[in-house]
Amino acid sequence: MPKLDRYLTREFAHSVFAALVVLGMVSMSAMLGVVLDRIARGKVPATLLLSQIGLQLLRYLPLILPLAVLLGLLLALGRLYRDSEMPVLAAVGVGPRRMLRPLAGLLLPMLLLVGACSLWLGPWGQRVSNRMIEEANRGLVVAGLEPGRFAELPGGGVVYVGAMSADGERLERVFVHRQSEDRVDVTTARGGSLFFAGPRERYLRLEDGFRVEGPAADGLDYRLMRYARNEIRLPDREQAAAPDDPELLPTLALLGDPRPAAQAQLHRRLAPVLLTLAFALLAFPLARSGPRQARHGRILLGMLAYLVCMNLATLGTEWIAAGRLPAAAGLWWLLLPLLALATWLYFADGRLPRVRRR
């Protein structure tokens, strides 16, 4: 590889990596808030916090990577224009066709990464995430129950378990404290287990114990009950996704699925690869600027182009799933014109107009 190609590829890669790190941190902060909200509502076990964030990141990488490529190239090319390196390269004959070689050194690995995340890793991560939540919801681990420790129940309350069977199905020496508005409820039991009354309803069955209920503040209105069996309802678990949900199916399974939702999901997974290619080509004409011209406006313009294209892709996916748009049209009405426009602007970038002869 010539020294010029190595230099430009390194500059492009450093800027794209820096943009990807910043966007990844922002995205992980947003995903952390979403996962914590689901944990607080008792939908996801607290023990799955880190694994859920990692799996969700795989799902959103196809949305982050195209923006990282666009912003990274805009920053790298903006610096080259600011330092007058691009005019020097143009003066020695390095035009758009010659710039394809260093661009391909960065773009080919990025396209492979975007395709792998969109077509394979993203759906795989979604399937694993749902399976982990489903398996955890079937055991007592969903409440964070561990022998010898106090733990908070999802939705409010404190529980203490003295011992637990090896398979996690049976409890011994259970203490439960709950408070709702102005009433307090304290329950003890020799043993207990978890059972399901429906597809989403979970109950903790306590056996052979006492229950004391009374006011949380002042008052003597207390009731003491001894019971042989007492059932405490836990927060409803997450609704299990259907096995044929298009979001969980592998990409190859979507090819022969005639359902509109499946075809919409297929086009949604194909779009990020072509969008990444189009944004990479658009970065070159967008980044062109004079030596003293500010480059922040170009970055804002690139962000606007990204938001418009992503919103149109989302709307197109919803239209296909709802049957408003034929599956054969897919998202090609957006991707092909955008790719053609980006290609034309790339090769026309910096070209001098022809001189008219009189």
Q: How confident is the model at residue 137 (pLDDT cuts 50, 70, 90)?
A: low
pLDDT at position 146 is 67
Q: Are residues 116 and 11 in the same domain?
A: yes
Q: What is the mean pLDDT of the chain?
A: 83
Pairing of strands 158-164, 202-215: unpaired
In a domain, 222, yes or no: yes
> pTM for this structure?
0.75
In a domain, 226, yes or no: yes
In a domain, 145, yes or no: no
pLDDT at position 96 is 78
pLDDT at position 352 is 47
Q: Are residues 130 and 16 in the same domain?
A: yes
Tens-place pLDDT, residues 114-129:
999 999 999 998 889 8
Residues of the domain holding 174: 156-234
> If you ran DSSP here, which 8-state letter would residue 242 be given?
P
Q: Are residues 124 and 207 in the same domain?
A: no
pLDDT at position 141 is 46
Lowest mean pLDDT among 86-90, 263-267, 354-358: 354-358
In a domain, 332, yes or no: yes
pLDDT at position 247 is 85
Domain end (from 234, 254, 277): 234
3-state helix, strand, coil in the chain (%, to 5): 55, 15, 25
Q: Are residues 250 and 229 in the same domain?
A: no
Which comes out higher in pLDDT, residue 279 or 199? 279
pLDDT at position 19 is 94
Over residues 154-175, mean pLDDT: 78
Q: Are residues 110 and 166 in the same domain?
A: no
Q: Are residues 230 and 246 in the same domain?
A: no
- Please, are residues 340 and 348 in contact by the beta-carbon 8 Å criterion? no
Tens-place pLDDT, residues 100-111:
889 999 999 999
Lowest mean pLDDT among 55-69, 156-170, 294-308, 320-334: 156-170
In a domain, 141, yes or no: no
Q: Are residues 170 and 132 in the same domain?
A: no
Over residues 333-350, mean pLDDT: 89
For residue 302, give the 3-state DSSP assignment: helix
> What's the domain count of the chain?
2
> If you ran DSSP here, which 8-state letter would residue 140 be given?
G
Q: Are residues 102 and 251 in the same domain?
A: yes
Domain end (from 183, 215, 234): 234
Over residues 134-152, mean pLDDT: 64
Q: Are residues 247 and 130 in the same domain?
A: yes
Domain end (from 234, 255, 270): 234
Tokens (6 digits) for 71: 């912003």
Q: How far is CA 115 from CA 75, 86, 269, 270, 275, in A?
A: 24, 31, 8, 8, 11
Lowest mean pLDDT among 192-196, 253-257, 330-334: 192-196
pLDDT at 237 over 60: no
Share of the chain above pLDDT 90, in %: 30
Lowest mean pLDDT among 193-207, 274-288, 292-306: 193-207
Q: Are residues 59 and 197 in the same domain?
A: no
Tokens (6 digits) for 183: 């009433």
Q: Are residues 117 and 217 in the same domain?
A: no
Count of alpha carbons within 13 angstroms of residue 240, beta-carbon side = 14
In a domain, 142, yes or no: no
Q: Are residues 90 and 177 in the same domain?
A: no
In a domain, 123, yes or no: yes
Lowest mean pLDDT among 62-76, 217-231, 286-300: 286-300
In a domain, 88, yes or no: yes
Number of Cβ atoms within 10 Å of the Cβ of 72: 25
pLDDT at position 107 is 92
